[in-house]
């Protein structure tokens, strides 16, 4: 059993643009498009905005990609930001964090580790820093985690025997599932989980802003800050106005130039 304090984010998928197809479209419409970004996410958003008005070729007002997207964001023309999508594998977060993250329904997709199918006898746990900082409170927390985990292991064993006696006809996978899905009821919110989280730029901006705010729970706020740094690197023209700031309690948070687009 490991105690984890920091989430990890793996960018397993990011937006690309098929330049050959874009050129084919431009040629079919006897027009052209000049821009200065090389990032698929920034290019697709600019292209989406320009297609709305066919502001291409001669009608194309000379603007950098940053200016073009800045104008869209400033005007709250957020729907074009939905074309840029990322796939992020997130690990080292607690079940309580993901319970909050999955509330974001719009522009997101989630595939999370199943506690019904996956064995949690080797689970890791996320400790809130405020508890970790105090040796006495840390001891209370650890005792509780160890007791819950031991109870889980005991329940899985007992339930596996019981299910085997009562349903010998079931497959091994089915029997294990019946045992694990009942035993997991004693696992704490602190249990580590993993998920593949996909989201478009509009949703990501909103989630980072809301969950990076002062009122957000500290673990999801740390994730929002990490996501903010990551997305600013991934696509500065889409996320550059999201700033990492120092909050009143000394921790980091996020402040958005344009809150909701």
Ligand X SMILES: Cc1cc2nc3c(=O)[nH]c(=O)nc-3n(C[C@H](O)[C@H](O)[C@H](O)COP(=O)(O)OP(=O)(O)OC[C@H]3O[C@@H](n4cnc5c(N)ncnc54)[C@H](O)[C@@H]3O)c2cc1C
Q: In the bound complex, what is the minimum distance in angstroms from residue 258's beta carbon to ligand X?
A: 14
Nearer to ligand X, 215 or 250 (CB): 215
Closest to ligand X by CB, 45 or 199: 199
Q: How many helices (H) and strands (E) does the chain have?
A: 10, 8
Cα separation, 222 vs 242, whole angstroms: 15
**Shortest distance, CB of residue 104 to ligand X, whole angstroms?**
4
The C-alpha atoms of residue 192 and residue 124 are separated, in whole angstroms, by 5
Least separation in angstroms between residue 103's CB and ligand X is: 4
- Is 232 marked active-site? no
Of the pair 56, 199, the CB lying nearest ligand X is at 199
- For residue 149, CA distances in Å to 74, 142, 158, 185 come to 50, 10, 14, 11
Rank residues 15 and 209 by Cβ distance to ligand X and give the closer one: 209
CB closer to ligand X out of 2 and 260 = 260
Q: How far is the CB of 180 from ligand X (least distance, A)?
A: 27
Token pair 């709305």 is found at 52
First to last CA, the chain: 42
Choose, from 211, 221, 222, 232, the residue flagged as catalytic.
Answer: 211
Cα separation values, 137 from 104, 124, 133, 149, 250, Å? 32, 19, 8, 18, 21
Q: In the complex, what is the shortest distance from the CB of residue 214 to ligand X, in angstroms, rounded to a whole number?
A: 9
User: What residue ranges bind ligand X (CB under 6 A)?
Assistant: 103-106, 206, 210, 215-216
**Beta strand segments in the chain, E:** 3-4, 8-13, 85-94, 108-112, 125-126, 192-200, 242-246, 252-256
Please identify every residue annotated as catalytic.
Answer: 211
């Amino acid at each position: 059993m490991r105690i984890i304090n920091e989430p990890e984010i793996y960018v397993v998928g990011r937006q690309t643009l098929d330049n050959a197809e874009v050129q084919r479209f431009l040629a079919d419409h006897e027009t052209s498009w000049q821009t200065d970004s090389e990032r698929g996410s920034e290019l697709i958003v600019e292209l989406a905005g320009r297609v709305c008005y066919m502001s291409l070729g001669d009608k194309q007002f000379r603007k950098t990609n940053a200016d073009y997207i800045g104008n869209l964001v400033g005007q709250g023309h957020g729907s074009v930001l939905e074309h840029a999508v990322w796939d992020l594998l997130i690990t080292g977060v607690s079940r309580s964090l993901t319970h909050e993250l999955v509330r974001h329904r719009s522009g997101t997709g989630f595939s999370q580790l199943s506690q019904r199918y996956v064995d949690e006898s080797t689970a890791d746990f996320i400790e809130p820093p405020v508890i970790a900082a105090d040796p006495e409170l840390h001891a209370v927390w650890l005792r509780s985690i160890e007791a819950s985990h031991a109870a889980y292991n005991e329940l899985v064993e007992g339930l596996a025997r019981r299910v085997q006696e009562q349903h010998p006809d079931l497959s091994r996978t089915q029997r294990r599932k019946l045992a694990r899905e009942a035993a997991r009821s004693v696992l704490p919110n602190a249990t580590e989980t993993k998920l593949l989280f996909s989201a478009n730029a509009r949703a990501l901006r909103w989630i980072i802003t809301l969950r990076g705010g002062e009122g957000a729970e500290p673990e999801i706020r740390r994730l929002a800050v990490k996501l903010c740094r990551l997305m600013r690197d991934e696509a500065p023209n889409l996320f550059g106005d999201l700033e990492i700031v120092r909050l009143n309690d000394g921790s980091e948070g996020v402040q958005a130039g344009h809150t909701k687009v």
